[in-house]
Structure 1
């Protein structure tokens, strides 16, 4: 039973990536500038899950998640005007696992659908005179919706939807050198309003091929501590991230 619960719930934070735009465009004109970035996060998860008075340790590699992924969509968008920033992010995954319980050899089907939507804004706090370093303050909301379905034999063991909205605040650093841009972002959220506490840190390197297109690659860590009723989630997800940035 612990294995079933663990497998269902380990995906709840496996793909929580908000791709940060680290475009090398550093202008502060009065015109709107837009970035659209499809991305992926090759994340594994570790931590503890408690459900129905049972606890299970999680140690899931990315390949375990990928083998059971049926559909995934990841998209980040950002608009800038002067020192102001507006951004949004949408992630949807569907994971399905079929198998048998070891002791009873009972057929089991597990399905998970997860949506994460983020919206926020920011302001450029510091720009050095040589336009090499940029520091932005960020704030926003992250919405999580997780739909779990578990069938064991002819019995429906679990059919539950969990949703939570987390406020967050953060900071972003960028350094620009010719076609290369380095970016780092850290935010913290939840504060007991949604989850107890959540935080995220990432570092990305971006290379600009043209005015239209650049490629980002980096590493991200995401942590969440969430509790509601008989459900408790304390997980850390981490892995490499990559995506294409289209600049308009």
Structure 2
């Protein structure tokens, strides 16, 4: 199948991504003015049994050298080690006796248009521009004597960022079946920066592709509001791409 034959080609890629999650957030339980810093570091073996729901889907519509693509990520889990690190307050003890846990709900939507600027055999390079939306809710559940159990505090971030980048694949075999997908974007909004990268290997069957990739998605709000939020998702993903031709 030649995706550059000038006809409309569509693809849908459901995938599974199991990232290690790093999330640093400053919250304000009980109205504490300087807040407390929750540092969550969670791996798949610690969060999978508390995973409420996860959904991952990518898609592309291409005609010749032009394409539109999207990617959607949803994850929600609770009862993770908060890594709570209290912030010192003038005239008060620096340590707060919290018994706490953290939860995260994340929605990430990427939308972009791309143009192929180089092609050779089974290899190609696209440049693209678009936007990415982040909705991230971090919740701190805690107990603090003499207050009742099951207190909580949360921080919610909703941001659109502009992004630019490159993507494509490199053919690894003469028949074009083995290939290396790659992707890199950088972006920014009014209060943050973001970047995403992936690289992996894939194999093309008659019905579509199977890929295994290493992927990283990062956000940084340090010193720019939103509680000095840092969020990073890094890990392996496995996906299956199904192709459809509009004839």
Gaps of 5+ in 2: 29-33, 85-95, 143-147
Q: Is 2:205 the counterpart of 1:209?
A: yes
Max Rg structure: 2
Structure 2: distance between partners of 1:175 and 1:200: 19
RMSD between aligned residues: 2.9
TM-score w.r.t. structure 2 length? Answer: 0.76
CA apart distance, 1:208:
1.6
Residues 121 and 132 (structure 1), Cα distance of their counterparts in 2 relative to 1, 3 Å cut: same
Match of 1:183 among 174, 181, 184: 181
Q: What is residue 166 of structure 2 aligned with on the other side?
A: 171
Residues 205 and 194 (structure 1), Cα distance of their counterparts in 2 relative to 1, 3 Å cut: farther
Residues 45 and 78 (structure 1), Cα distance of their counterparts in 2 relative to 1, 3 Å cut: same
Q: Is 2:41 the counterpart of 1:59?
A: yes
CA apart distance, 1:89:
1.5
1:195/1:224 contact within 8 Å kept: no
2:157/2:226 contact within 8 Å kept: no
1:167/1:194 contact within 8 Å kept: no
Aligned length: 218
CA apart distance, 1:123:
0.3
Q: Is 2:114 the counterpart of 1:119?
A: no
CA apart distance, 1:38:
0.6
Structure 2: distance between partners of 1:99 and 1:49: 13
Residue 3 of structure 2 aligns to a residue whose secondary structure is coil
Q: What is residue 31 of structure 2 aligned with on the other side?
A: none
Q: Is 2:12 the counterpart of 1:36?
A: yes
Q: What is residue 77 of structure 1 aligned with on the other side?
A: 59
TM-score w.r.t. structure 1 length? Answer: 0.76
Q: What is residue 27 of structure 1 aligned with on the other side?
A: 3
**What is the CA deviation profile of residues 6-59 of structure 1, one whole-angstrom value per residue up to 9, with x for unaligned ones?**
xxxxxxxxxxxxxxxxxxx54322211011001122211347444444335443
Gaps of 5+ in 1: 1-24
Residue 46 of structure 2 aligns to a residue whose secondary structure is helix
Q: Is 2:240 the counterpart of 1:244?
A: yes
Q: What is residue 133 of structure 2 aligned with on the other side?
A: 143
Q: What is residue 5 of structure 1 aligned with on the other side?
A: none
